[in-house]
Structure 1
């Protein structure tokens, strides 16, 4: 009996142990619910346990758990997290296909390289005002537009300048222009070092290579000491793709536009290497007269995963292009000749010629190294370089125009034929004319490195270094002599006082240089073939940055800080005696500090508040006066103070974000200098001929405040509704103060102009938008976006009564269809049709010169007989927006 009892106890123990350690195998495949593609690298884990795995290259997963029932949590960056219940009736469960829905506010794919360098909102738990455009939307909607057009369906964003030609658009964020918005490419700053501006023609291939575009309005999440006053725009490019495959695409559009693109990925091979390559070509006549363009784009990426700790990626991309340009003109001119009128071109012997062509080639190279030191510490480093070559053409000398205002190249050629010896100059009668190219060549090298350390379960630290050096060369060369054999000019050289001396330099040039961007990259002019000016600058930058973030349960808080030193030196080889060609070196310290906190209530409601202070160094072009070596003694750092707060709501069907902001910009100074040509009195001081006078202009304050709303509503699986609204109040405060000083910095005169309440121009202060996407059947959808722009003012200097432009509405629409082909439907063909400005709205997109004829706010009363267009004086220089445009594309994925 005792033995029987012992046997029973043993059997019971064995059965209990067998039950306790029973294993359940769970398998399935994770799919993109929008395009029915497998998702490699998705995270799958059993809720409440440490059991988890990631999907393979085909989106498949397999995990083993002792749980017989429970919940799987599936997540993938750029998609909504999904919970899936399981109940193990057997030892093996196949959950089949699990569809994840895209998250409109997150990224489309995992960033494969530079994860610690690329500043993305997802990397920080404390929220900011952010909008994200995914790769699928970029490819679908870009058409023939600049990459800036992809941001128009986000709050507080305005895009202008598109009528200038391919690549000539400008973007403002919360009313701040491009020199006050930071633009990053894979973590590297790409704003111009001299003036902070962006030239989108240099980045014409960005839409082809962008994996994601994220715009962080206001303070943003960037850790660098950069000029993110209005916001930060992150362009994250493709890297070496994990999966083998490729594509080829073709597109056509209005005005003879054509584009072809092809790409191929080897995938990450067994030896850890992989490569991705893409090439494209585009060309078109342009929407407005005389704005044709042509360009290419290349993208080469090599990846190597050495082991679990080290991965590397080398990227080389460039977009050589040329495009002919259109400038703003009086509204009356457009009314006379048509809204597509452009007078920057003409014909020579019946063949089209342009006076204004932009051409540029700017290769960019990145080397990324990601080092997973341990499970708590990682290091990300990027070494980058870019080499820009190119410029813009224009007339140099006496122009002759036809009766319609276009360039009369035949008359110019005939006049040049009369020049003595075939050598043109400004002294011949009549004056001669050549087409010059204003060159802007540069070499830019930099490094950004970031160490991330998990100090505890709740506390993380980022520390980094940002180093850059930039050398720019600026000069003019002749691109076309138009019948001349050469060009001669003379000038008086300057000394260390920055004033012209009696020494005269003269040179004659006789070489012409192509405006082909490929040719200009490899063929630069010698010093003796340069005209008008020839100078360079070296700008060096060194910065330290850090971020500390605490996150526990529903609460998070962060603090960021950076300190930087920026040095400048100018070298003038044309207008100075050789021994005085080098300017004095100038260095300035700048900093920024940012902090914020957030709290989540019931998983659906989140609140945040952030604040930041910037002390920004002056740009190079404001340190040296009038493009000479003369130092501007009046420059100082600009002060920016920002506050923002927000609320977010998220549910299964509806999500929304509400943001409030207030940004103050003070101590903005612009200065010029001049030599008196006659004796005069300024204030109470008598001055003599040759005396140097500095003029400083400063606005007391520029204050931008507003509210922003964006939302996504999915009432049905087949219907997405998105919307946004932003209402801003962007004003000048106080006075515009102009001060004149002598060369000993004695104040001669001060003039105050009341600008309090004057409206900041160049962007609509009120914007509304609504977008709808409906899936008619699987893989077939239609979409449409409506936008309204109001409270848009002229882009002119600060004044009390700025001109307000008429409000306008735009509607864009598109159709998408994906056809699955090939064995097991592994390949696909994508069709896309876009139509922008569907209803052909006629509107003024910007005004650059302000004539109000004494009428309040530029609006004409009923008894005023002066000509007007929609209440705007027709003498104002303006751009009309583009009318109806269309594009069609087809893409084969394999």
Structure 2
């Protein structure tokens, strides 16, 4: 009996010692965009004791000892080691870096306002493209091309020139997708447009681009219809290092980039600097371009509770432009045909040049108030300066050569013969004008988050902006003239012209250069054609409440906003009437969603929302006068989404169904035929967009990754609308009776698309990749009152190869080589049409399309190659 008690005592002692020696470790594993990594491996170093993260990236591990090191790994990501002990059993949220990403670890700041989908438990339809992918595949293309291998995304307009692409999401154009840069809204406040030439530097400074299709996860008081795109820029880097980059491509393109990071010092300070220069002749004739990118970021973390980051970035650029033309013109003159340029005394000269510089400054402050509360704020400003050139004067004065180019030698000779060198509309003179667009934009976005308990989180915040824009025209080149004179009659408060005409003569020119435009503004007495400004102010409040446990989540989100508009016209109005009445519109949105965990790897979810969105400024003052459009009203948007997500270590995929109803829309379709611009404006327009989306990533082996997507949309106009024709200056040419457009397909984006991609690692540090995508049911971008015209379907194949040469034993230095061939098969295809002329009897056809239609052919085969030295 005594021996039995001794044995029992020893056994109890050993069990107690074992239990007391163990430590229960917990944490969450996410990627750089805060999205959970299910199936990540957690191993106690030096043992075989380990576990995996669940669907939400969470893990719990009974460690064998009171202190030690965890080794965290996930396929496609760099492994990470984290120390633990009994006093810090919760290691918190840990980020893993993508293995192929050559950039150093990025500190994501402003996390409370950036609104990445990982910041909310309830899922949305989302695709995230990391810096490594952008750097590998963009080459000479706009950053929009980084999204072409995602569902329901269509990119067009590349043939217009550097930075002239456009993006559609679920069939809605980019005026109806919200674009954010580190939490700062960057859509144009006048019309919602995005000009990618102003953001050419995003390719260099982005750490990730995330597109949230549909209702999205944004807490801001914004009402996006198609979706929300978040650009998360690099900020102050944790580690010292840098890189040099040189790239070249077809059509004499070359780009150089230099970056250096000081790392974060012991006192919490750090700096990152990037400078870049690019230039090229453009794929199409007469689309040359040149630009720079600068990025300077200062970070300061005085303690664990505060994190500050100040950055300034800009991408001054100029690029010459191509306009849509008849298919017959391309067939006669070649697929790269462009007649917007010519030669003067043997030197190249373009009539259509876009030039702009938009410095962006923002200050982010993240404040961890307590374990349960945090505040994130971004204060920002931007100052856009630049414009676009074009012809000015009578069309007869625009002389062309026999091959259709602009004959500047003949124009100069014609202008030199004018009495006293004076140009007017009446004496058939010609000048190049620049339509200038200047703005100053200031704002603040702030979000307070409080964890009420382990399951309930509350957010509340504000979005405040004020914008002042100025628009006028100036002479860019006299071409042999010494002055330009024109007459105008001024309007009174009733918008009626009154009094005798006023003569205005200008003698100064402004160079079409972004740096010149940044620091020089034309005097008011040297402006022509028009000179007006507007003040737009916006104030929004938003809130969100989310409940989440291990099995389900649900959220409610709401916002209210007020937007005011006022126009000031210095050119067409008597001084006492130059200020328009102020117009204010209130708007709101409501969103609700819920998700349910079916298994540890799969989740189903539902989101719904209703928006009452204020009209844009250009829809309120829609005829270039101070007259207020009586048809302007809030647009109504209702969205419903159902989705299913599956995530495991080897496979992840999602299926999304959506329906978006959009009512009381005002829209404008621009058509350029023979260099004459006309605008079709429609009011009372309603649309219904429905569809299904699918995407997946499969890690077949450690060397082979397969990814794919598919989207099938059904996008229709609903009911009837009224349309009218406007000229380039928005003067009404004609107005039509109401037209029934019910059932007509929405154009400008492929309603059916699918793609498949392969990444294969041949040997360590050498990999190849290929992407194929197919587009069908693409219709002309015209007013529905003109009917519809379906374009031929097409498929494109891209291929690339990457190789890393490590330098030194530590692998801290390397040479990264990359080469791409886009449209490998040199497929000729029509990427967009801006008319809908049908294939009538006797008409000449190209692949079933009447050759009198205007549009763009897509790019043929292109290539680019680069080398990056990392240190």
Indicate whether the TM-score tops 0.5. yes
Structure 1 partner of 2:429: 432
Where does residue 221 of structure 1 map in the other structure? 217
2:593 counterpart of 1:608: no
Task: Provide closer, same or farther for how the CA distance between residues 670 and 630 of structure 1 changes in structure 2, counting only shifts above 3 A.
Answer: farther
Equivalent-residue separation in structure 2 for 1:12 and 1:340 (angstroms): 85
Inter-CA distance 408–72: structure 2 relative to 1 (3 Å threshold):
same
Tell me which residue corresponds to 1:676: none
Cα drift, residue 788 of structure 1: 0.3
Cα pair distance change 1:265/1:72, threshold 3 Å: closer
Aligned runs of 1:316-331 on 2, under 5 Å?
Answer: 316-331=312-327
* Partner Cα separation in structure 2 for residue 817 and residue 696 of structure 1: 51
1:785 alignment partner in structure 2? 771
Aligned residue number for residue 641 of structure 2: 644
For 1:726 and 1:8, how far apart are their aligned partners in 2?
Answer: 69
CA distance in 1, matches of 2:575, 2:148: 50
C-alpha distance in structure 2 between counterparts of 1:101 and 1:651, whole Å: 18
Within the alignment, does 1:795 sit opposite 2:794 as a pair? no
Task: Encode CA deviations 1:204-235: one digit per residue, 9 max, x unaligned.
Answer: 11110000000000000011122310011100
Which of 810, 815, 833 is the aligned partner of 2:819? 833
Question: Which piece of structure 1 moves more, 403-412 or 109-118?
Answer: 109-118
CA shift, 1:512, in A, is 1.2
Q: Residue 871 of structure 1: which of 810, 833, 848 is its match?
A: 848
Counterpart CA distance in 2 for 1:455 and 1:77 is: 35
- Residue in 1 that maps onto 2:743: 757
Q: Which residue is equivalent to 1:58? A: none
Deviates more, 1:821-830 or 1:197-206: 821-830
Q: Which residue of 1 aligns with 2:675?
A: none
Query: Which residue in 2 is equivalent to 1:669?
Result: 666
Match of residue 736 from structure 1: 721
Counterpart check, 1:766 vs 2:763: no
| 2:53 paired residue number | none
Cα shift readout 1:602-651 (whole Å, capped 9, x = no counterpart): 21221001001010000001111311001112211000000010111223
State the alpha-carbon separation in 1 of the partners of residues 239 and 41 from structure 2: 17
Q: How many angstroms apart in 1 are the aligned matches of 2:510 and 2:499? A: 32
What is the match of residue 860 of structure 2?
A: 883
Q: Name the CA distance, whole Å, in 2 between partners of 1:599 and 1:472.
A: 47
Separation in structure 1 between the aligned mates of residue 173 and residue 617 of structure 2, nearest angstrom: 17
Q: How far does residue 65 in structure 1 lie from its aligned partner after superposition?
A: 5.4
Structure 2 residue corresponding to 1:118, chosen from 109, 114, 118: 114
**Alignment partners' CA distance in 1, 2:167 and 2:600:** 35
CA contact (8 A) 2:104 2:239 kept: no
Deviations 1:332-363 (A, max 9, x none): 11111111010000011111111000000000
Residues 484-563 of structure 1: pairs in structure 2 closer than 5 A: 484-563=481-560
Once the two structures are TM-superposed, the CA of residue 77 in structure 1 deviates from its matched residue by: 13
Match of 1:724 in 2: 709
The corresponding residue for 2:357 is 361
- TM-score w.r.t. the length of structure 1 is 0.86
1:360 and 1:66 map into 2 onto residues whose CA distance is 61
Which residue of 445, 450, 455 maps to 2:447?
Answer: 450
Return the alpha-carbon distance in structure 2 between the equivalents of residues 652 and 699 of structure 1.
49
Question: Larger deviation: 649-658 or 705-714?
Answer: 649-658
Q: Which runs of 5+ in 2 are unaligned?
A: 51-60, 85-93, 670-679, 726-734
Which of 113, 129, 132 is matched with 1:133 structurally?
129
In 1, the alpha carbon distance for the partners of 2:566 and 2:681 equals 21
Q: What is the 5 A alignment of 1:283-682?
A: 283-397=279-393, 398-428=397-427, 431-669=428-666
Query: When the two structures are aligned, how many residues end up with a matched partner?
Result: 815
How far does residue 69 in structure 1 lie from its aligned partner after superposition?
A: 12
Alpha-carbon distance in structure 2 between the residues aligned to 1:549 and 1:293: 48
Q: 2: CA distance between counterparts of 1:515 and 1:305?
A: 42
Aligned to 1:689: none
Pair 1:272–1:400, CA change in 2 (3 A)? same
- Rounded to whole Å, the distance in 2 between the matches of 1:605 and 1:73 is 26
Residue equivalent to 2:247? 251
8 Å CA contact 2:107–2:238 kept in 1: the answer is no
CA contact (8 A) 1:784 1:811 kept: yes
Give the equivalent residue in structure 1 for 2:87: none
SS of residue matched to 1:287:
coil
Instruction: Label 1:246 to 1:82 Cα distance change in 2 as closer, same or farther (>3 A).
Output: closer
Relative to structure 1, is the Cα distance of residues 177 and 517 closer, same or farther in structure 2, using a 3 angstrom cutoff?
same
Q: 1:19 to 1:193 in 2, by over 3 A?
A: closer
Distance (Å, rounded) in 1 between the aligned partners of 2:18 and 2:596: 43
Secondary structure of the 2:563 match is strand
Change (3 A) 1:269 1:80: closer
Deviation of residue 825 (structure 1)? 2.4
Cα offsets for 1:509-530 (capped at 9, x unmatched)? 1111111211110011010110
Q: Which runs of 5+ in 1 are unaligned?
A: 34-38, 53-62, 87-97, 673-694, 741-748, 853-857
SS, match of residue 792 in structure 1: coil
Does the C-alpha gap of structure 1 residues 10 and 230 become closer, same or farther in structure 2, counting only changes over 3 Å? closer
Cα separation, 2, equivalents of 1:511 and 1:211: 44
Secondary structure at the residue paired with 1:148? helix
- Over 3 Å counting, the alpha-carbon distance change for 1:850 and 1:256 in structure 2 is same
Deviation at 1:103, TM superposition (A): 10
Task: Tell me the SS of whatever aligns to 1:703.
Answer: strand
| RMSD over equivalenced CA pairs, Å | 3.4
